[in-house]
Amino acid sequence: MRSISKEVNSCKNTSLSFKKHPTHIALLLALIFTASPFLSKASESEKIKGFNAGEMIMHHVLDAHDIHIMDGLTIPLPVILYTDNGIDIFSFSNFYDENHSTTSVYKSESTGYAYAYNRGHVYIADESGMINTDEAGSITNVAPLDFSITKNVVGMLLSIVIMFLIFLSVAKGYRTNRGKAPKGIQSFMEPLILFIRDEVAKPSIGRRHERFMPFLLSIFFFIWITNMLGMIPFLGGLNVTGNIGVTAVLAMFTFVITSFSANKGYWSHIIMPPGVPLWLLPIMIPIELVGVVSKPLVLCLRLFANITAGHIIILSFASLIFIFQASSGDSTALGVSIGSTVFLVFMNGLELLVAFLQAYVFTLLSALYFGMATEEAH
C-alpha cells in the first residue's frame, strides 16, 4: 500500500511540475516531433536506405529548370531552346512522369524533335527516345542552345526586383524627408551606402571615387542579396553566386571597367615597366599581362568557391541524419540529428556573415583595381 501511495504521489508531483513548468511539455513535444520522422513505415525506410548524399547535395547546388520547394511541391520553369527547326518554348513539367520524376521524353509539335532531360541539360533524343553515350560515358546526343529561365535566372531576377524596390524607396525617402533624419528602410540603407563610400571607395580610388560608386553599390547589394536568398530554404536552394558563370560575368564587369578607365600610366607600367632593363622586357611583359588577366579570375573563383563550399557543408551536416539512419538505425539517427542540428544552426549563422563578407571583399577588390587603373603618376 505504501508503494502504491508513493507512485500516486510521484505522479501527482510530476503533473504539478508540468503545470508549473509548461516548457517541459514543449520540450517533450519537440522531442516527439523530432523523433517522429525516424518512426516511419517500412516503405519509407527503404527510401532512406537508398539515400544518396552526393546526389542530393549536387541537386541543390547545381542549377535546375524547376524550383523544388518541398516534397510534392515543385514549380516548373519555362524551357526555351533554339534548334535547327526554330525556337521551342514549353514548360519543364512536360518532362515529369506519373511519379513526378524527370524521366519522360517530350515530343515537340512545333519543331518535331523529341527532347530528353539528363542532369540539368536538355538533349535531342534519338528515334527511340533514348540518350546515347560513348565508351567514355559522354553523351553523344545533340544539345540545342538553351536559353531557359532556370532557377538561377529566377534568383537573379528576384534580386534585381528587390534592389529596385529598396533603392526606389530610399530615393523617395530622401525626396520627402529632405533635411530630416532618415527613417524606415532609409535608416537601414544609409549606413551601408556610407560604409561603401567612406571605407571602400574613397580609400581605394581617391578623389575620383564618385564615378565608380553606382557600380560598387550595385555589385555589393546584388551579391549580398543573392547570397541571402540562398539561405532561405523554401525558395528551392537558390545558389546564384555559387554558379561560376554568374561570378565570371560579375568579374568581367570589373575587368572591362578597369581596362576602359585606366590611364596611360597604368598601361605604361604593363607594357614598359619602369626601371626594368630592356633584355628583361620579353619576360616581364607576359608576367604583367598574366597579372592583368588573373585579377578577374581571382574575383570569380573566390566568390564561387566560398559560396559553394558553404552550401555543401550545410547540406552535408543535414545528410548525416539520413546516412546514420540507413546504416545504424533510428536511435542512432536521433542522436546524430541533435548534433547535426547544432552544427546546422552554427553554420547558418556563419553563412550569414560569409554572405556579407563575400559581397564586401568583391566590392573592395574591385575598388582597389579601379584605384590602381586611375592612379595619377607621381
Q: What is the pLDDT of residues 202-237, one digit of tens each?
A: 999 988 899 999 999 999 999 999 999 988 877 777
Residues 87 and 218 in one domain: no
Using CA atoms, how far residue 271 sits from 30, 252, 275, 284, in Å, is 67, 22, 12, 9
Residues 195 and 235 in one domain: yes
The answer to whether the beta carbons of residues 223 and 217 sit under 8 Å apart is no
Q: Is 80 helix (H, G, I), strand (E, B) or coil?
A: strand
Nearest Cα neighbor of 354 from 311, 294, 299, 296 is 311
Residue 370's pLDDT is 94
Q: Tell me which DSSP letter residue 139 carries.
A: B
Task: Give residue 131's domain range.
Answer: 75-149
> Is 260 within a domain?
yes
Using CA atoms, how far residue 256 sits from 223, 249, 251, 362, 369, in Å, is 18, 10, 9, 15, 11
Residues 6+ apart with CB under 8 A from 105: 95, 114, 115, 116, 125, 129
> Is 144 within a domain?
yes
Distance, in Å, from the CA atom of 28 to the CA atom of 14, rounded to the nearest integer, reads 13
Residues 255 and 336 in one domain: yes
Residue 340's pLDDT is 74
> Is 274 within a domain?
yes
> Is 67 within a domain?
no
Q: How many residues comprise the chain?
A: 378
- Residue 26 φ/ψ, nearest 5 degrees: -65, -40
Residue 254's identity, in one-letter code, is: T
Residue 328's pLDDT is 66
Distance, in Å, from the CA atom of 66 to the CA atom of 7, rounded to the nearest integer, reads 58
Distance, in Å, from the CA atom of 352 to the CA atom of 111, rounded to the nearest integer, reads 46
> Is 7 within a domain?
no
Task: Show the low-confidence residues of the chain (pLDDT under 70).
Answer: 1-51, 98-103, 326-333, 336, 377-378
